[in-house]
Amino acid sequence: TLSAKLRSLDRVFSTHRLLSAHRVLGLSAVVLASLHPLLVFAPKAREIAAFRLEIWPALLGTVLLIGLWSGVCTGLWRGFLNLPYQIWYRFHRLGMFSLVVLYALHVMNVTDDLKRGWPLYALLTALALYVALFIWVKGIKPRRLKSRGYTVAKVTGVGKDTHAVELSPRDGSVFRYAPGQFAFVTFQSKALPRERHPWTIASTPTKPDSLIFTIKSSGDFTALIGELEPGDTATIDGPYGLFSYLAHVPNSTRELIMIAGGVGITPMLSMLRYMSDRGDTRKVTLVWSNKTEADILHRDELESIEGKLEGLTVHHVLTRQKDYTGPSGRLDKNMLSDLLSACSQEACVFVCGPPPMMDTVCKALKQIGFSSRRIHTERFSI
């Protein structure tokens, strides 16, 4: 279901919460599956250890457990193993499909109980649903996305090691989205490997002729973004996410607080662009942390938006520029208490940036007195 990227589930739970639940449920399922042979086959341990062919269904179960634990361990310790996500993802997807097939063979042959009646029907129904989702993910959905493809209109440098990629739809208009949402983008270009990556839609829904993604060089793939050329094509799977003030306070004048770290500004920038075009008058406080002034993206545009939105206050915080006269240092409890002293604790708070920064900020906000239910985050680490 997660691979299918079903937007109906995303609208309720959001993709990053579904991914978190997937990790927890996957690990729990493997632990329970490991207890199963200990409880059921313990009396037959010697027979299984003898590797007799007539007990091949039980031996197949052993192979299943090895495969499941391999999937769990490589997923949990992918960073430690220095395993690139795209390579891990391909093996994970292929491996899980193979394990589902082996699981079906195992349960249908290890006992006669699943060869008839409702247990058999339940198993066949579950397998049919899995196969249907697999066909949707690998066959139908990619063709639909390709038929509604996009073309690179221009690539512009907007800051240190950062580019804005503007994509125009081939059919004339982009899909409907809320400011702050994200999409999975796959470029078809000679300059880049064909990989799918999630990026925030930095443009505003008020300009439906194109989509803009602001992408910072942070790895081997994103380092090549600047080599994209006008005319290159892309498929876009989206929109996803609930990280938008329209999802939480759509028809309200409630105060907003936006706290960004680095390129985590992109969903906030989309929301501010939208609010500027709509003439929103509510009070908005933006706290944006960067290393140096050179890392501040779209600075001129942000100053223009600040001039249009009478309720907007922008605080630039720098962490590595010694000659900076404004707020400097990490966004801890003391700094946030000072910067947000004029803000209501009833405000709706949005936080996006590197995971360690987000953890620190969310903890500090709660210590200051902001309720966790008013704090909304967006995480892209997968």
CATH number at residue 199: 2.40.30.10
Q: Are residues 257 and 358 both part of a single domain?
A: yes
Instruction: Quote the mean pLDDT of the chain.
Output: 85
What is the C-alpha to C-alpha distance for residues 19 and 22, in angstroms, rounded to an integer? 5
Q: Which domain holds residue 322?
A: 245-378
Mean pLDDT of 29-35: 79
Amino acid (1-letter code) at residue 336: L
2 in a structural domain: no
Q: Are residues 99 and 34 both part of a single domain?
A: yes
Domain end (from 193, 217, 240): 240
**Predicted pLDDT of residue 272:** 96
**Predicted pLDDT of residue 322:** 86
pLDDT tens readout for residues 304-325:
999 999 899 999 999 999 888 8
Domain end (from 240, 272, 287): 240
* 131 compared with 115, residue with greater pLDDT: 131
What is the C-alpha to C-alpha distance for residues 361 and 70, in angstroms, rounded to an integer? 35
**Predicted pLDDT of residue 54:** 64
Q: Are residues 140 and 119 both part of a single domain?
A: yes
* 28 compared with 376, residue with greater pLDDT: 376
Number of domains within the chain = 3
Residue 202: CB atoms within 10 Å: 27
Contact 216, 161 (CB under 8 A): yes
| Res. 172 pLDDT band, cuts 50 70 90 | confident
Q: Are residues 371 and 279 both part of a single domain?
A: yes
170: CB partners within 8 A, 6+ apart: 148, 149, 150, 151
1 in a structural domain: no
Report the sign of the C-alpha dihedral through residues 68, 69, 70, 71, in that order: positive
pTM above 0.85, yes or no: no
pLDDT tens readout for residues 272-290:
999 999 999 999 999 999 9
28 in a structural domain: yes
Contact 100, 130 (CB under 8 A): yes
Q: Are residues 117 and 195 both part of a single domain?
A: no
